């Protein structure tokens, strides 16, 4: 009963979006399905490149030169991505968020970053999008100083790309 109620309340929420918002939500949901299928069958760098948010494994750029101001349309796109990924059957992990946010903002030439860190003896991974020295992480624009994460670097091993040993 709870899943049915959640689905019905989601449909009521669509009515409030208006026709353009509903089309945007449906488009985002279709992209979310495509991302999910691609992540299960493909490689992240190729998927990211196809979505217009290439995986950048270089050291992040320095401090931003000017504030990153998103347009109202871009802010709506971020809200739509958040809204879609917060409902079943979508998996709103940071990688999926970053890929869809990057796709929504692809006109700004974003890059996908994937980093790791060790916390309390546990290895944690995280993904975010960077644009012009700013990170868009959990749908929020923040300065891109993610020094708490080590950016993953590829290394050629036996003719294929593999991750460096992170000790």
The arithmetic mean of pLDDT across residues 16-29, rounded, is 79
Per-residue model confidence (pLDDT) at position 100: 92
Q: Quick one: 1 exposed, middle or buried, by C-beta within 10 A (0-12, 13-18, 19+)?
A: exposed
Per-residue model confidence (pLDDT) at position 103: 92
Mean pLDDT of the chain: 76
The arithmetic mean of pLDDT across residues 30-34, rounded, is 87
pLDDT at 165 over 50: no
The arithmetic mean of pLDDT across residues 141-166, rounded, is 59
Q: Could you tell me which residues come within 8 angstroms of residue 125 by beta carbon, excluding any fewer than 6 positions away?
A: 114, 115, 116
Own/partner contacts of 151-154, CB < 8 Å, gap of 24 or more, are 151/57, 151/58, 151/59, 151/60, 151/113, 151/114, 151/115, 152/57, 152/114, 152/115, 152/116, 153/57, 154/57
Per-residue model confidence (pLDDT) at position 102: 92
Q: For residues 127 and 92, what is the distance between their CA atoms, to the nearest angstrom?
A: 12
Model confidence over 11-22: pLDDT tens digits? 566 666 677 878
The arithmetic mean of pLDDT across residues 127-151, rounded, is 76
Range with the lowest mean pLDDT among 6-15, 19-28, 139-148? Answer: 6-15
Residues 151 and 57 sit within 8 Å (Cβ to Cβ): yes
DSSP per-residue string spanning 130-161: EETTEEEETTEEEE---TTSEEP-EEEETTEE
Per-residue model confidence (pLDDT) at position 71: 87
- CA proximity to 105, closest of 134, 74, 128: 74
Model confidence over 44-100: pLDDT tens digits? 888 888 888 888 777 666 666 677 888 898 888 888 888 888 877 777 788 889 999
**Domain coordinates in residue numbering, the chain:** 2-163
pTM: 0.76
pLDDT at 3 over 50: no
pLDDT at 163 over 70: no
Per-residue model confidence (pLDDT) at position 150: 66
């Amino acid at each position: 009963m709870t899943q049915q109620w959640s689905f019905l309340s989601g449909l009521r929420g669509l009515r409030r979006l208006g026709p353009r918002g509903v089309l945007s939500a449906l488009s985002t949901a279709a992209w979310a399905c495509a991302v999910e299928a691609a992540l299960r069958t493909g490689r992240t760098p190729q998927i990211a490149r196809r979505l217009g948010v290439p995986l950048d494994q270089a050291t992040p750029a320095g401090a931003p030169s000017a504030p990153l101001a998103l347009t109202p349309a871009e802010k709506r796109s971020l809200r739509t991505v958040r809204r879609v990924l917060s409902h079943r059957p979508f998996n709103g992990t940071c990688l999926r968020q970053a890929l869809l946010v990057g796709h929504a903002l692809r006109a700004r030439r974003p890059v996908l970053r994937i980093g790791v860190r060790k916390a309390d003896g546990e290895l944690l991974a995280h993904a975010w999008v960077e644009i012009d020295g700013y990170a868009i992480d959990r749908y929020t624009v923040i300065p891109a100083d993610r020094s708490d994460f080590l950016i993953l670097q590829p290394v050629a091993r036996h003719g294929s790309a593999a991750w460096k040993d992170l000790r």
